[in-house]
Amino acid sequence: MKYRQLTKEQFETLHNEFARFLASQSIDVNEWNQIKKEKPDVAEEEMNVFSDVVWDDVLTKTAYLEHFSPRFLNLFKCDKDNIHRIVIQITNEEVNLLEQEGYEWLLKNTHSEEVEILEGSKAYNEERNSELFDLIQKGSSISKGELFEYFKKLITAKK
């Protein structure tokens, strides 16, 4: 398995897609129920293959990720060959970016000496989708990129 199996809730949400996936392999609902009962390892493998297909599709479409922690905000722009990163560090220990007021403080104080902004880019070390999946497993979330683009404009304006 390349990624991880989807959760029960994710399978329920993707019920129709999973049914089409099984149908593409000429497995109807009766046969699927029989496979689950008599060959659970085969059923598990089918679920794993479907999970990888879904994850590959989601990750291929992913353009931005973000990861919040109490004092750091990591923003990623995920191009085809390179990943771009903006790191925002808050040195004010009273600010917690995981709380709404801390997030609002950051947006009001982007030019403060208590806000350090760094940026960098690199080529992927592994296959692109595998690296993005690893970042998600470590707590990053897929985003639309508004924060990345906002801070990118701030950085560009300072230069």
pLDDT of the chain, 159 residues: tens digit per residue = 899 999 999 999 999 999 999 999 899 888 999 999 999 999 999 999 999 999 999 999 999 999 999 999 999 999 999 999 999 999 999 999 999 999 999 999 998 999 999 999 999 999 999 999 999 999 999 999 999 999 999 888 876
- Which residues, including other chains, have CB under 8 Å from residue 114's CB and lie 6 or more apart? 90, 91, 92, 95
Per-residue model confidence (pLDDT) at position 159: 63
Amino acid at 145: G
Per-residue model confidence (pLDDT) at position 156: 84
| Contact assessment for residue 68 and residue 134, using Cβ atoms and an 8 Å cutoff | no
Angle at 144 between CA 67 and CA 14, to 5 degrees: 90
Predicted TM-score (pTM) of the model is 0.87
